[in-house]
Chain A
């Protein structure tokens, strides 16, 4: 599972850099979070409760980063941020 997640994050870095150079970091974060959510769901029955709990910490942190990115984007659109 670690290999799958690591591979996915690597893929997200490449996608972010190649296709979205200006917003590569945001794209990478959001794609990574989506991937982690999908992997968590697909592995639900295979992983131990302990591992799921550790996995969830990453999901909570990723969600917090996602909210931050969305809020920053909205503020930028509204012109509050430069």
Chain B
């Protein structure tokens, strides 16, 4: 064990706690055996308590920040390379899980090839990645959101279930956790409901992430894990699909702002269900679907 290893929080706590406990025991022994005053007895007991507490509480293994950053950077850049290679340019859509279908139990992030407005999205289940769409028009790829595993970990660690959190209480539920785990400095989630559509504005204080993120694409495609975590939490809490409509990254402020809009279609067994209004609009845009039959209400068929 070299000096650098000893400098890690876990071992540092052991050394400091051990020294405090030993000095404390010496103080107690001196007070009891040597006839020392109460100061030694009470002080000794206090030191033993502090020492044992320090050792017990700081016992998790830690890795240096630089190692974590390198790992994070590698995964972000791999994700971005994949998106660039597939020439995906659309806005990411976060899809909720559903309790009713065994193949749709996890949130997914679908990135269309191009922004296609409100076209029907292809069937997306937990395993599928590449999508040719229902009629070849809505091509894209679906991935596990980069922040989902992180959210699962936080839920398990803190003992909460985001799916049971009221969307309007989500900010309160997330704020302390993300800042405590040093994922974000702060997060602000504003929900707004107009008619049957929910929009959300998420403001994240991410601080200095220059070591982790190069360029804005990591934010555009929500590949930056903490940003993806917050959006996944929103989708999990509301149970509705959200499209990342726009984003704004302010490097000087270290602030990231997302505008999300609820997709009116709902993720169903391997498909999206569209409402009548959307079907009519699509039908008129396609000029009567150009000889194709009007898309069925349940796209993709699962």
A binds B: yes
Nearest-Cβ distance from residue B156 to partner chain A, whole angstroms: 8
Checking A16, A51, A57 against B42 with a beta-carbon cut-off of 8 angstroms, the contacting residue is A16
- Which B residue sits closest to A49, measured CB to CB? B159
Classify the interface of chain B: helix, strand, loop or mixed: helix
CB-based contact B157/A45 at 8 Å? no
Q: Which chain B residues lie closer than 8 Å to A28 at the CB level?
A: 42, 45-46
CB-based contact A9/B57 at 8 Å? no
Residue from B39, B46, B53, B59 whose CB has the most chain A CB atoms within 10 Å: B46
Nearest-Cβ distance from residue A17 to partner chain B, whole angstroms: 6
Interface residues of B in 60-82 (CB under 8 A from A): 60
CB-based contact A49/B42 at 8 Å? no
Interface residues of B in 5-42 (CB under 8 A from A): 13, 38-39, 41-42
CB-based contact B45/A55 at 8 Å? no
Chain B residue total in the interface (Cβ 8 A) = 24
Interface residues of A in 11-52 (CB under 8 A from B): 12-13, 16-17, 21, 24-25, 28-29, 32, 45-52
Checking B46, B50, B158 against A49 with a beta-carbon cut-off of 8 angstroms, the contacting residue is B158
Q: Which chain A residues lie closer than 8 Å to B42 at the CB level?
A: 13, 16-17, 24-25, 28
A1 at the interface (CB under 8 A from B): yes
B56 at the interface (CB under 8 A from A): yes
CB-based contact A48/B41 at 8 Å? no
Chain A residue total in the interface (Cβ 8 A) = 28
A6 at the interface (CB under 8 A from B): yes
CB-based contact B177/A46 at 8 Å? yes
A68 at the interface (CB under 8 A from B): no
Nearest-Cβ distance from residue B210 to partner chain A, whole angstroms: 28
Instruction: List, sorted by A's number, 30 A–B pairs whose CB atoms are closer than 8 Å.
Output: A1-B57, A2-B13, A2-B54, A5-B57, A6-B50, A6-B54, A9-B50, A9-B53, A10-B46, A10-B50, A12-B46, A13-B43, A13-B46, A17-B39, A17-B42, A17-B43, A21-B38, A24-B38, A25-B38, A28-B42, A45-B158, A45-B176, A46-B180, A48-B157, A49-B159, A54-B56, A54-B57, A55-B57, A58-B53, A58-B56
A interface residue numbers (CB < 8 A to B): 1-2, 5-6, 9-10, 12-13, 16-17, 21, 24-25, 28-29, 32, 45-52, 54-55, 57-58
Q: Which 4 A-B pairs have the closest CB atoms?
A: A13-B46, A48-B157, A46-B180, A24-B42
